[in-house]
Amino acid sequence: MAVRTAVRAAVVPAVGAPLEVTGIELPEPGPGRVRVRLAAAGVCHSDLSLSNGTMRVPLPAVLGHEGAGTVLSVGEGVTHVAPGDRVVLNWAPSCGSCHACALGEVWLCANALAGAAHVHARRADDGTDLHPGLNVAAFAEETVVDAGCVLPAPDGIPLTDAALLGCAVLTGYGAVHHSAKVREGETVAVFGAGGVGLAALQAARIAGASKIVAVDVSAEKEELARAAGATDYLIASDTTAREIRALTGKQGVDVAVECVGRAATIRTAWESTRRGGRTTVVGIGGKDQQVTFNALEIFHWGRTLSGCVYGNADPARELPVLAEHVRAGRLDLGALVTERIALDGIPAAFENMLAGKGGRALVVF
């Protein structure tokens, strides 16, 4: 493996082990590969899920999957980007040949995470092989990725903002517009006001929702949620579903978007929708999070419960749409960021996430 000068990166050595910021040695990009210098990377709950074992990938690994930067060099056969180009990282590139891709459902590509099994780099101190947590290893000053993992960054948007398009915004926006298909005038409840939840709130506002209820465990997030588009704000409790029905003429909302990934929250989101309503689950929970329904209520309420992967969107097609919303002032990327940190600040960002604090923490290089 031919290498260049070591760069700093955030590495998870094993499940549950503390994150380590250390030097890694990256290979030069081979055929079909691209080397990128990161400008910024968002700290997502999925990164926490990788570090604690909720989501399983080969370890040790360099984490980080939401980022943007500048192309340093490209390998043979790469033609859609060149050195100097600004790019957004795409952590789930579609293969174009599996059953899901043939159906046009590229967000369900069976081979999207195949790259996570490959050796990405080596630790500079002891030579240990490292994997890319979710393909792109964005928690590093530089990374080398498959060509399918880089998309041209939209013009006129700073890379520190564009980084958020790669996961939080695409997921939250897609959950509202593609999975739940919110229509103008409908009522919406969003559970969880972190980075994805704040993006979903903005997306509901863009869709023309008549009432947008934000639900979170933290009172401190109310200002963020209302700035994103929430018309009402509730502190999560055992009475949340009743409170939402009270806000909607005792009917319940048309759409609930769950961005937490906990069984209790999913169940509450379901109960908060009207008869015939729609619940979209974006949050990633563990296998131990069991949600139960009885057969009679499924028949009686006629509700729809659906999962949502990567916003049920094609990133290549979606980025220009999101960029137009940003340029028109409808989508405020900076409003999602509540903290700008260095690589060393990621463990504290994880702790804040566990405590339900803040929106998106952004690593700025």
CATH number of residue 186's parent domain: 3.40.50.720
Which tens digit of pLDDT belongs to each residue from 40-84?
Answer: 999 998 898 888 888 888 999 999 999 999 999 999 999 999 999
Examine the fold and report which residue of 309, 324, 351 is the final residue of a domain before the chain moves on. 309
Residue type, 188: V
Do both 178 and 126 map to the same domain?
Answer: no
**Res 286 pLDDT > 90:** no
Residue 324 forms part of a structural domain: no
Which tens digit of pLDDT belongs to each residue from 232-243?
Answer: 999 999 999 999
Residue 326 forms part of a structural domain: no
pLDDT score of 56: 85
Bigger pLDDT: 4 vs 107? 107
**Chain-centre distance for alpha carbon 149:** 15
User: From the DSSP assignment, how many helices (H) and strands (E) are in the chain?
Assistant: 11, 18
Which tens digit of pLDDT belongs to each residue from 224-234?
Answer: 999 999 999 99
Q: Write down the residue that tokens 């609930």 correspond to.
A: 256
Residue 327 forms part of a structural domain: no
Euclidean distance between CA atoms 45 and 301, whole angstroms: 32
Residue-range definition of the domain harbouring residue 93: 7-166+332-364
Residue 317 forms part of a structural domain: no
pLDDT score of 357: 85
Q: Interhelix angle for 263-271 vs 240-247, to 10°? A: 30
pLDDT-based confidence at 2, cuts 50/70/90?
Answer: low
Do both 31 and 152 map to the same domain?
Answer: yes
Do both 13 and 154 map to the same domain?
Answer: yes
Do both 218 and 250 map to the same domain?
Answer: yes
CATH number of residue 342's parent domain: 3.90.180.10
Do both 185 and 154 map to the same domain?
Answer: no
Euclidean distance between CA atoms 70 and 316, whole angstroms: 17
Length of the chain counted residue by residue? 365
The answer to whether 109 and 92 have CB atoms below 8 angstroms apart is yes
**Res 353 pLDDT > 60:** yes
Residue 323 forms part of a structural domain: no
Do both 86 and 190 map to the same domain?
Answer: no
Residue 111 forms part of a structural domain: yes
Residue 255 forms part of a structural domain: yes
Residue 162 forms part of a structural domain: yes
Do both 152 and 26 map to the same domain?
Answer: yes
Bigger pLDDT: 255 vs 18? 255
pLDDT score of 1: 47
Bigger pLDDT: 1 vs 97? 97
Lookup: tokens for 267 = 């169940």
Pairing of strands 150-152, 86-89: antiparallel
Q: How many domains does the chain have?
A: 2
Do both 152 and 270 map to the same domain?
Answer: no
pLDDT score of 136: 96
The answer to whether 36 and 150 have CB atoms below 8 angstroms apart is yes
DSSP string, 74-91: E-TT--S--TT-EEEE-S
**Res 161 pLDDT > 70:** yes
Q: What global pTM score does this model have?
A: 0.94
**Res 355 pLDDT > 90:** no
pLDDT score of 4: 57
**Res 346 pLDDT > 60:** yes
